[in-house]
């Protein structure tokens, strides 16, 4: 009977450890890929075009872009949404497009106004 009790306790503890490991791996994967799961609050810092306005997201807070910025790789982002790459190529951001602080570009999934209010 003691052996059965020990086996049950050991298997319960092991199950708890494996459950925590999976969650940690998911969070680590999200940080590396920049992809967010539903309900996740962690987002990467970036400059984005939202509803025709340039916005800066830093530490999860979004504010209007008040001056031009130069990213780590030399890409320049202007207040009007113009992006000038280090190689001289120029483009204009459209709604939902963003430039990360390291200069990579991406298209973000736009949130509905009600989802922003929940955050």
Q: State the pLDDT at residue 27.
A: 53
Q: What's the pTM value of the predicted model, to 2 decimals?
A: 0.55
Residue 9 belongs to domain spanning: 1-37
Q: Are 66 and 113 part of one and the same domain?
A: yes
Mean pLDDT of the 105-116 span: 62
- Does residue 26 surpass a pLDDT of 90? no
Q: Are 54 and 107 part of one and the same domain?
A: yes
Number of domains in the chain: 2
Q: Are 111 and 53 part of one and the same domain?
A: yes
- Does residue 65 surpass a pLDDT of 70? yes
pLDDT digits (tens, 9 = 90+) for 84-95: 998 889 999 999
Q: Are 56 and 96 part of one and the same domain?
A: yes
Q: Are 4 and 50 part of one and the same domain?
A: no
Q: Are 113 and 72 part of one and the same domain?
A: yes
Q: Are 55 and 30 part of one and the same domain?
A: no
Q: State the pLDDT at residue 42.
A: 57
- Does residue 53 surpass a pLDDT of 80? yes
d(CA 49, CA 92): 10
- Better-scored residue on pLDDT, 25 or 105: 105
Across the chain, mean pLDDT equals 76
Q: What does residue 15 show for φ and ψ, rounded to 5 degrees?
A: -60, -40
- Better-scored residue on pLDDT, 101 or 17: 101
Q: Are 66 and 104 part of one and the same domain?
A: yes
């Amino acid at each position: 009977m003691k052996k059965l009790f020990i086996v049950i306790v050991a298997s319960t503890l092991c199950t708890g450890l494996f459950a925590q490991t999976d969650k940690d791996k998911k969070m680590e994967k999200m940080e590396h890929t920049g992809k967010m799961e539903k309900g996740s609050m962690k987002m990467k810092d970036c400059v984005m075009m939202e509803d025709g306005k340039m916005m800066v997201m830093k530490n999860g807070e979004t504010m209007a872009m008040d001056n031009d910025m130069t990213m780590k790789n030399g890409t320049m982002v202007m207040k009007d949404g113009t992006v000038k790459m280090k190689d001289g190529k120029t483009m204009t951001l459209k709604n939902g497009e963003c430039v990360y602080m390291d200069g990579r570009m991406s298209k973000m999934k736009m949130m509905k106004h009600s989802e922003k209010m929940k955050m």
